[in-house]
Structure 1
């Protein structure tokens, strides 16, 4: 969640409710041709998740950079 101060507050889900999505930690984005390894990837612009083949451009926003999507559970 984006706070009025510009800071981000992560929203935590119960383990069984976690879904695949864009990581919030910085990492280097890469082009779609490097991303096509059969794993889910998230658009670096809007967070859309491509489950298999990563398109050259995001079908939701037209973004061209992707990050490996994650499905990490919170560690208490």
Structure 2
């Protein structure tokens, strides 16, 4: 069975950052944005990461990030 996952702001700000040039989402380990090549500074507030995740998943509201994922049960 799949584990329900929700947005964890503490975990996200520890491991993710947002490119301030193009808005792309990247890991903290990456030195440059893979989308546009920007090398910093990067943003890493909870709100900026949440907005980048919403753009990435194409959802229209922040509640979509917190909603449990739909899983088809056999």
Return the TM-score normalized by structure 1. 0.36
Q: Give the structure with the higher percent helix.
A: 2
Return the TM-score normalized by structure 2.
0.37
